């Protein structure tokens, strides 16, 4: 079974961990992990005058009540929250490389505005990906099988949440077979999908 | 909201009567040289103070004659007391002037200046007047770092006559140009001023620094004060802008300064010594001399950011344009304190912008990935130009955005579109970004 990450060139392969899995003869089921959001932060190491950015920058939204400026970029479609302390949070990228490129473009924009920015401490802090299983999932059975790690409260949220502690990743499992994975980086996200697939496969209810 | 420290100061001409000179006990001994050269405009009373000081063993107190108009030269070691009661201790010869509001000067590292506080016994809140120069002799090999600590006595009493082989010569920083601490390096080679021989001051513990503080103001010359040089003055290099020429002192003077020496009479406009408010001085005392007071003073928005030291050093080394000129070692204009704080935010940005332009290619970053000026970080492909004649001038009820869909609910406006004007009381618009 292979897992593809759409929108990234990253490619990972997964082998079923259990030889007696109930998989059909066809072992090549492609699972597309689609990265929808990459959140990153970096610091400019210099104080930024938000008012100057708001007045002279392009594609900016000034939020004085919060104390930040949102700057949107088109090319890597990202939105950055800029604080006067020089900390910038960059959201909306679809890959880690894109996040870094967008962050650098943003720093370049600030540099053009006249600030002595330095591109330091860039770090991807969160990656959100979605994946669709080719089967539906029986959530109650899934929760029972993974009692302490999985939690399911249908009155609160229609998905069962499964936290993988060592990966620091959270997987939300929906009965339709779709799952969302959030983790600190893309690699952890992929590993989380690999890890959870067999567990989901056990509790599949119907084939799509 | 004016600081209490300056409550005695008025916008108009300062009444010289507000100042009371208090001279230390042994001030007379140090005065023989400077006395001769002290010229206080219209201050015939003051010219007699030497004799007065000689007579009294204790602190001598003088009042500035009523006719004294600014600027007033005050030799080192005196304590000024304003009518409001604030005490200002003069460690180096200063020129007290009435600075224009636009002239903003900041006390630069003053911590060492505050040391000799104990010299003046009765003062509670003594703020040392931080003039441009603290005269110090610094032995060349050892003068790499500025150590603000210095025996307090040294500042007050002129250092004993040390056989100073090298003549070092500190420039008074005045009014205009303020050198950042980074420019202190040239201090090492400053030409020294020969110390007057009969100075009974204890030998300075720290490396000597030339005690010659001499500056020329409007032709008024100040003979070198035998100030203690024991502590390297962080001001030293910074003073280069307002330079006192050591010409009259003697030969062998290597003049160091940013401008590269030469006896330059201080420009009248620049040579202004301001009284520093005590509160500010005390605060600055605690700081590292490398600390950029300008930036520490005020941040208009956001939390205090940690400007990297590399940045500060770069600015210092460059002698950067905007921000550096506004920094002045020692003196802050009492009247313009508020104006300084307000303008500081803008000057920071101006300084940063000018610095960024200047340093664009030279020193981008010291950190991981230097932002090459356009190398891999390409600019936005579509530069937005608002060179349009179609404008809408109006008021808004609500501006709403969802992802990249914008909705505008406007009112009471005029739209100029295609050369025609349209007036509306309500307008609704949608746009996609």
pLDDT tens digit sequence for A27-56: 456 788 999 999 999 999 899 999 999 999
Q: Would residue B272 count as lying in a domain?
A: no
Most A CBs within 10 A among B321, B359, B360, B369, hence the mutation to make, goes to B369
B-chain CB neighbours of A46 within 8 Å are: 305, 307-308, 311, 352
Q: Model pTM greater than 0.80?
A: no
B-chain CB neighbours of A79 within 8 Å are: none
Report the DSSP beta bridge partners of residue A62.
Answer: A69
Burial class of residue A109 in the structure, from the number of CB atoms within 10 Å of its CB (0-12 exposed, 13-18 middle, 19+ buried): buried
Most A CBs within 10 A among B380, B404, B405, B406, hence the mutation to make, goes to B380
Structure tokens at B99: 């600075």
Distance of CA A36 to the CA centre of its chain: 6
Q: Would residue B379 count as lying in a domain?
A: no
**pLDDT the model gives residue A167:** 92
Q: Would residue B415 count as lying in a domain?
A: yes
- Give tens-digit pLDDT for A131-166: 999 999 999 999 999 988 999 999 999 999 999 999
Contact A113, A13 (CB under 8 A): no
Q: How confident is the model at residue B84 (pLDDT cuts 50, 70, 90)?
A: confident
Q: How confident is the model at residue A112 (pLDDT cuts 50, 70, 90)?
A: confident
Q: Would residue B65 count as lying in a domain?
A: yes
Host H or E run for residue B338: helix B337-358
Contact B76, B92 (CB under 8 A): yes
* Phi and psi at residue A122, to the nearest 5°: -75, 135
Q: Would residue B212 count as lying in a domain?
A: no
Structure tokens at A166: 């060592």
Structure tokens at B141: 């090999």
Structure tokens at B252: 């062998």
Residue B8 has pLDDT above 90, yes or no: no
- Give tens-digit pLDDT for A8-35: 444 443 333 333 333 443 445 678 899 9
B-chain CB neighbours of A102 within 8 Å are: none
Structure tokens at B364: 């981008």
Q: Which residue has the tokens 């000129």?
A: B325
**pLDDT the model gives residue A175:** 93
Q: Would residue B403 count as lying in a domain?
A: yes
Closest by Cβ to A58, choosing from B307, B365, B384: B384
- List residues in chain A touching B: CB distance below 8 A: 45-52, 58-59, 61, 67, 72-75, 83-86, 104-105, 107-109, 111-112, 114-122
Report the gap between the CA of A85 and the closest CA in chain B (Å): 5
Closest by Cβ to B371, choosing from A47, A73, A111: A111
**Count of domains forming chain B:** 2
Determine the average pLDDT of the residues in B98-103: 54
* Preceding peptide of B71 cis, ω within 30°: yes
Strand B420-432's sheet: what is its strand order?
B391-402, B405-417, B420-432
Q: Would residue B410 count as lying in a domain?
A: yes
Contact A42, A49 (CB under 8 A): no
Q: Would residue B39 count as lying in a domain?
A: no
B-chain CB neighbours of A107 within 8 Å are: 371, 377
* Cα–Cα distance for residue pair A123/A42, rounded to 1 Å: 6
User: CA dihedral defined by A180, A184, A187, A193, rounded to 10 degrees?
Assistant: -30
Residue range of the domain that includes B66: 17-29+50-95
Closest CA to B23 of B86, B94, B103, B77: B77
CATH no. for residue B428?
2.30.18.10
B-chain CB neighbours of A58 within 8 Å are: 380, 384
Q: Which residue has the tokens 């005490």?
A: B87
* Cα–Cα distance for residue pair B333/B87, rounded to 1 Å: 16
Burial class of residue B20 in the structure, from the number of CB atoms within 10 Å of its CB (0-12 exposed, 13-18 middle, 19+ buried): middle
- Pure H helices in A58-163: 96-113, 139-145
ipTM over 0.90: no
Most A CBs within 10 A among B352, B364, B403, hence the mutation to make, goes to B352
Flag if A104 and B355 touch (Cβ within 8 Å). Answer: no
- Give tens-digit pLDDT for B376-394: 555 555 555 666 788 999 9
Label residues B286-307 b or e (16+ Cβ within 10 Å = b).
eeebbbbbbbebebbbbeebeb
User: CA dihedral defined by A46, A52, A53, A59, rounded to 10 degrees?
Assistant: -170
A-chain CB neighbours of B303 within 8 Å are: 84-85
B381 in contact with A, Cβ within 8 Å: yes
Closest CA to B131 of B2, B280, B242, B265: B242
């Amino acid at each position: 079974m292979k897992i593809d990450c759409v929108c990234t060139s990253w490619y990972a392969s997964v082998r079923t961990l259990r030889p007696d899995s109930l998989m059909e003869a066809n072992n090549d089921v492609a699972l597309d992990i689609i990265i929808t959001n990459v959140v990153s932060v970096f610091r400019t190491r210099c104080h930024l005058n938000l008012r100057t950015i708001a007045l002279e920058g392009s594609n900016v939204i000034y939020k004085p009540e919060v104390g930040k400026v949102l700057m949107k970029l088109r090319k890597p479609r990202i939105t950055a929250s800029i604080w006067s302390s020089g900390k910038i949070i960059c959201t909306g990228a679809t890959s880690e490389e894109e996040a870094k490129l967008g962050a650098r473009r943003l720093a370049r924009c600030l540099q053009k505005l006249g600030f002595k920015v330095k591109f330091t401490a860039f770090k991807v802090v969160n990656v959100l990906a979605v994946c669709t299983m080719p089967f539906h999932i029986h959530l109650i059975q899934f929760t029972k099988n993974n009692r302490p790690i999985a939690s399911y409260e249908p009155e609160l949220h229609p998905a069962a949440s499964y936290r993988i502690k060592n990966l620091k990743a959270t997987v939300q499992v929906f009965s339709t077979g779709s799952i969302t994975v959030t983790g600190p980086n893309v690699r952890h996200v992929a590993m989380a999908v690999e890890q959870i697939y067999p567990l989901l496969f056990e509790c599949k209810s119907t084939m799509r | 909201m004016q600081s209490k420290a300056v409550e005695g100061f008025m916008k108009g001409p300062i009444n010289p009567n507000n100042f009371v000179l208090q001279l230390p006990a042994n001030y007379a001994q140090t005065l023989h040289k400077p006395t001769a050269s002290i010229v206080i405009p219209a201050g015939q009373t003051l010219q007699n103070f030497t004799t007065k000081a000689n007579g009294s063993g204790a602190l001598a107190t003088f009042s500035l004659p009523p006719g004294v108009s600014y600027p007033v030269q005050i030799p080192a070691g005196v304590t000024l007391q304003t009518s409001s009661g604030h005490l200002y201790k003069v460690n180096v010869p200063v020129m007290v002037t009435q600075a224009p509001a636009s002239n903003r000067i900041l006390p630069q590292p003053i911590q060492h200046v505050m040391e000799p506080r104990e010299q003046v016994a009765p003062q509670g809140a003594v703020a040392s007047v931080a003039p441009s120069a603290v005269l110090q002799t610094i032995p060349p090999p050892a003068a790499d770092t500025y150590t603000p600590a210095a025996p307090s006595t040294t500042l007050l009493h002129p250092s004993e006559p040390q056989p100073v082989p090298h003549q070092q010569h500190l420039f008074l920083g005045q009014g205009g140009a303020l050198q950042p601490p980074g420019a202190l390096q040239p201090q090492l080679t400053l030409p020294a001023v020969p110390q007057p021989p009969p100075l009974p001051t204890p030998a300075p513990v720290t490396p000597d620094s030339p005690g010659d503080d001499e500056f020329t103001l409007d032709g008024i010359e100040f003979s070198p004060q035998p100030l203690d040089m024991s502590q390297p003055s962080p001001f030293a290099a910074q003073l280069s802008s307002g330079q006192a020429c050591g010409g009259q002192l003697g030969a062998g003077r290597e003049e160091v300064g940013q401008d590269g020496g030469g006896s330059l009479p201080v420009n009248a406009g620049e040579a202004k010594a301001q009284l520093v408010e005590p509160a500010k001085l005390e605060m600055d005392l605690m700081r590292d001399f490398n600390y950029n007071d300008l930036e520490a003073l005020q941040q208009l928005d956001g939390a205090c950011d940690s400007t990297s030291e590399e940045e500060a050093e770069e600015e210092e080394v460059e002698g950067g344009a905007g921000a550096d000129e506004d920094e002045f070692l020692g003196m802050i204009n009492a009247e313009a304190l508020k104006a300084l704080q307000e303008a500081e935010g803008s000057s920071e940005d101006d300084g940063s912008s000018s610095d960024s332009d200047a340093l664009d290619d030279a020193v981008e970053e010291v950190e991981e990935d230097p932002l090459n000026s356009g190398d891999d970080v390409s600019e936005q492909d579509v530069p937005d130009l608002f060179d349009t004649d179609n404008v809408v001038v109006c008021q808004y009820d609500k501006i709403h955005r969802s992802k990249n869909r914008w909705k505008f609910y406007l009112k009471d406006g005029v739209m100029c579109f295609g050369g025609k004007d349209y007036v509306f009381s309500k307008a609704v618009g949608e746009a996609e970004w």
